[in-house]
Chain A
């Protein structure tokens, strides 16, 4: 646009900078904008590098989480085969973080927040692993320790990671409720006497009951947070809260279902997980 202008008698001479204003300014303007171009290119390149790193970290973290979902016991070391598999991924993530540090130092730490989604997914992965091992929440300080020093972890990242953790805990809880309890109750009726049956009032295995309690505690904790409305960092807090509440409720209902109808359900039955898609979709 604007290169072919034949709209009047003068245009050709004007375009050829024959008039004074253009010849005065064309030079400086072009060189000024060439400088701008270089600066903007540098910015865009850096931005793209960071987005790519963030995506790679997200993908690796998701794989870690999938592997961890195969773990069946809490409060125990992660089984060796899964731990080994995840270690290579964790190493890759460390390398990715280390390589991107130069782009995220100084003033740029707050400029390119696109790394944030990668960090959040990573927090989700390590907090899940941490929970499975110790049945406690990872703290912000512990998260920072598991990242190279140049990577800034904001409280927002940490909080969002914890929100996502509830989704993973939900999936884990529902799966372990069904599979774990199935073994417990299907064998027991055959072994127990009728007199024991009363003592044998249905109850959840300790680790599963803990899961429900923990999720409930987390929900209460999240809900108690009061975040000022103008707090621009927590834009999707509302949506995350809803998803989290759903997850907790799902586990509560699954626990109830197992407890009440546990012995009646056919073997291989799992609580309805259909709504879990919602959690994955976001």
Chain B
């Protein structure tokens, strides 16, 4: 004899899973301890609940989509850096900062919703967009934007602590189950920035700026040596960080071309 209720209850649970029906609902893990009420839940009651409110994943999806849309405009603004000489960069940085701050508000919204759920259960939904945002922040900071958010004693880039402080999100939480920026996300963002900078090195030369490729070269070699310290397993981080060496080479080629032709400004190489 198969108990039909088992399947009804599973359906209830699946419906529940996709639904935010009650903001004050206890956390799933807390609920584990108490009797599993949903095994007795009536399907019609559940249907009523799901029509009452919108879907949980949809709510997250909607926030992430907004974040992505704003992220694309941030990236479009930052892309102007490729065709703007460094002395005229300030308006670009101002626009980019404004756009990043708009994204920051979305992150705050995301955090408030995501905090209600187990972090790693839904992390995949927003991880990509958060990485893009952090990459934009890093790039903007490297170009001279967001100066007040760079830690005083930190390296030439914003550390994960700086980024966390700027975005007002915790970083690398290990005990507490709450929204945060993970180390992997941060490192992937750095890699994205490195790729963007290697492109910028080429474009700087086109703009007549022979100094910036050297700065970029030094900077990404520094990061590269950092990444070489990591023991990476066969995962996404490994795949992406393998690409850094090509970025390094791309910039080195530019520097080589410039130095070969004596185009590197004297004394400017160390700026």
Q: In the assembled complex, which residues on chain B have CB atoms less than 8 Å from the CB atom of A24?
A: 155-156
Contact status A139-B39, CB under 8 Å: yes
Contact status A214-B231, CB under 8 Å: no
Out of B4, B159, B229, which one reaches A221, CB within 8 Å?
A: B4
- Whether a CB of chain A sits under 8 angstroms from the CB of B11 is yes
**Which B residue sits closest to A28, measured CB to CB?**
B155
Q: In the assembled complex, which residues on chain A have CB atoms less than 8 Å from the CB atom of B120?
A: 107-111
Interface of A is mostly: helix
Stretch at the interface among A14-22, A187-195, A262-270: A14-22
Contact status A21-B219, CB under 8 Å: yes
Contact status B6-A5, CB under 8 Å: no
Contact status B7-A140, CB under 8 Å: no
The distance in angstroms between the C-alpha atoms of A225 and B17, with both chains bound, is 14
**Which A residue sits closest to B186, measured CB to CB?**
A36
Interface of B is mostly: helix
**Interface size class, chain A:** 35 or more
Contact status A140-B9, CB under 8 Å: yes
Contact status A32-B14, CB under 8 Å: no
- Distance to closest chain A CB from B7 (angstroms): 3
Q: In the assembled complex, which residues on chain B have CB atoms less than 8 Å from the CB atom of A217?
A: 2, 4
**Which A residue sits closest to B259, measured CB to CB?**
A8
The distance in angstroms between the C-alpha atoms of A5 and B252, with both chains bound, is 10
The distance in angstroms between the C-alpha atoms of A97 and B176, with both chains bound, is 22
The distance in angstroms between the C-alpha atoms of A109 and B11, with both chains bound, is 23
Contact status A109-B29, CB under 8 Å: yes
Contact status B233-A225, CB under 8 Å: no
- Whether a CB of chain A sits under 8 angstroms from the CB of B172 is yes
| B-contact bits for A100-115, CB 8 A (1 contact / 0 none) | 0000001111110000
What 10 A-B pairs have minimum CB-CB distances, sorted nearest first? A221-B7, A33-B226, A110-B120, A28-B155, A111-B120, A107-B177, A217-B2, A110-B118, A19-B270, A110-B121
Known pairs A44-B231, A107-B178. 16 more at Cβ < 8 A? A1-B248, A8-B259, A20-B270, A21-B218, A22-B222, A28-B153, A28-B154, A30-B226, A107-B119, A110-B118, A137-B2, A152-B29, A225-B14, A227-B14, A230-B57, A233-B17
